[in-house]
Amino acid sequence: AQSVTQLGSHVSVSEGALVLLRCNYSSSVPPYLFWYVQYPNQGLQLLLKYTTGATLVKGINGFEAEFKKSETSFHLTKPSAHMSDAAEYFCAVREGQAGTALIFGKGTTLSVSS
Partner 1 sequence: GAVVSQHPSWVICKSGTSVKIECRSLDFQATTMFWYRQFPKQSLMLMATSNEGSKATYEQGVEKDKFLINHASLTLSTLTVTSAHPEDSSFYICSARDLGGGKQYFGPGTRLTVT
Binding-site ranges for partner 1 (CB under 8 A): 36, 41-44, 46, 90, 98-99, 101-107
Distance CA 53, CA 45 (A): 23
Shortest distance in whole angstroms from residue 103 CB to partner 1: 7
Nearer to partner 1, 7 or 102 (CB): 102
Which residues have a Cβ under 8 Å from the Cβ of 33 and sit 6 or more positions away? 23, 25, 49, 50, 65, 67, 74, 91, 92, 93
C-alpha dist (Å) from residue 31 to 54, 56, 100: 14, 15, 12
Q: Contact at 8 Å (CB) between 32 and 103?
A: no
For partner 1, the closer CB: 28 or 114: 28
Nearer to partner 1, 73 or 108 (CB): 108
CB of 107 to partner 1, least distance (A): 5
**Least spacing, CB of residue 16 vs partner 1, in Å:** 27
Q: Which is nearer to partner 1, 60 or 83 (CB)?
A: 60
